[in-house]
Amino acid sequence: MKSICNRNAENMTAKIFIHIGPPKTGTTALQVAVQEVDLAHAQYCGCFQPRDKNTGLSAKVLGHAHFPNAKGAPKRPEIRKEFEDALAAGNSVFISEEMLLLGDRHCQSPDRLDVLADMLRGLPTVILLTLRRPSDAIPSLYQELYLGLERKYWSDFDGFCTSRHVHCYRYKSVIRRLSQLGFENLVLLNFEALDDFPKHMAQFPELDGIQNITALQKKNAGKTGGKGKRWLPAIDAGNVLTSTLSHKRHRLIAKCRRKSSILSKMLGKQVLKERLATLSVPAEIACQLDADFSELAANVGQCTRL
């Protein structure tokens, strides 16, 4: 692939840098590192860690922009204007948000990418995508999402491996979609060499200062029990109830549990104990996705045109 990046300050042009994850690829470590470093010509706009601090531009992009109704669509011009104002002032913008690739029960990740492309159309944008071997990443994602998954997947890891939830690790498909949406510039990162992130991003004079990141400490590692085994959390009556509800009602139940000790006790009744499960991605799926990962990993660190 051909490198297309400017390498000196004289050619510096303010840009939008969007790191789209996916989850379980060291995204939290990257976010913590970037939010703490001083960037001379760029502003970090989230996601901020811990997430209760996430009130920046990334929160608006994720929390509102993808909704097609009155909660979201009318706000897209406002969000775009924030991008435009930053660029007009000569400031680049850096956003990291893995949920742009994950989606939820009500909004698939392609929908979020579509909206992102619409808001950034015509603006100089660089997409960052982190690679991790899917046969390792998928069990980790399953463990993290477990209680929020559709109930059918609680006892069907193989089914989960063919579901929309793992679309984010179909890297070639994601890259094709980014190209179709008009994104032109892509930088691939490698989970196994995350400390190389500052070196890779130092090719952009717009991110002067990012080279001062000395190390990225991986966070949010799941509880494991030996090779291929992970601890899955206990399921209570509240989890069973909310697994069938909309996100809005899910939040309502959570609020009621906090405020009512009686309801909290009822819904806290354990249905299934914490258990140690062997999570092995089916060979056919692992072979295909891991092969794509290995092929793309040869291009890590290069800024390439899609």
Least confident of 12-16, 30-34, 42-46, 72-76: 72-76
What does pTM read for this prediction? Answer: 0.88
Map out the domains of the chain as residue ranges. Answer: 9-136+165-221+282-305, 234-273
Q: What is the mean pLDDT of the chain?
A: 86
pLDDT surpassing 70 at residue 7: no
Question: pLDDT confidence of 269, banded at 50, 70, 90?
Answer: confident
pLDDT given for residue 4 in this prediction = 52
HEC sequence for the chain: CCECCCCCHHHCCCCEEEECCCCCCCHHHHHHHHHHCCCCCEEECCCCCCHHHCCCHHHHHHHHHCCCCCCCHHHHHHHHHHHHHHHHCCCEEEEECCHHHHCCCCCCHHHHHHHHHHHHCCCCEEEEEEECCHHHHHHHHHHHHHHHCCHHHHHCHHHHCCCHHHHHHCHHHHHHHHHHCCCCEEEEEEHHHHHHHHHHHCCCHHHCCHHHCCCCCCCCCCCECCCCEEEECCEEHHHHHHCCCCHHHHHHHHHHHHHCHHHHHHHCCEEECCEEEECCCCHHHHHHHHHHHHHHHCCCCCEEEC
pLDDT in tens, 82-107: 999 999 999 999 999 998 888 665 45
Highest mean pLDDT of the ranges 72-76, 153-157, 261-265: 153-157
The CATH architecture of the domain made up of 9-136+165-221+282-305 is 3-Layer(aba) Sandwich (3.40)
pLDDT given for residue 247 in this prediction = 58
Q: Which residue has the higher pLDDT, 97 or 57?
A: 97
pLDDT surpassing 60 at residue 61: yes
pLDDT in tens, 270-304: 888 999 999 999 999 999 999 999 999 999 999 99
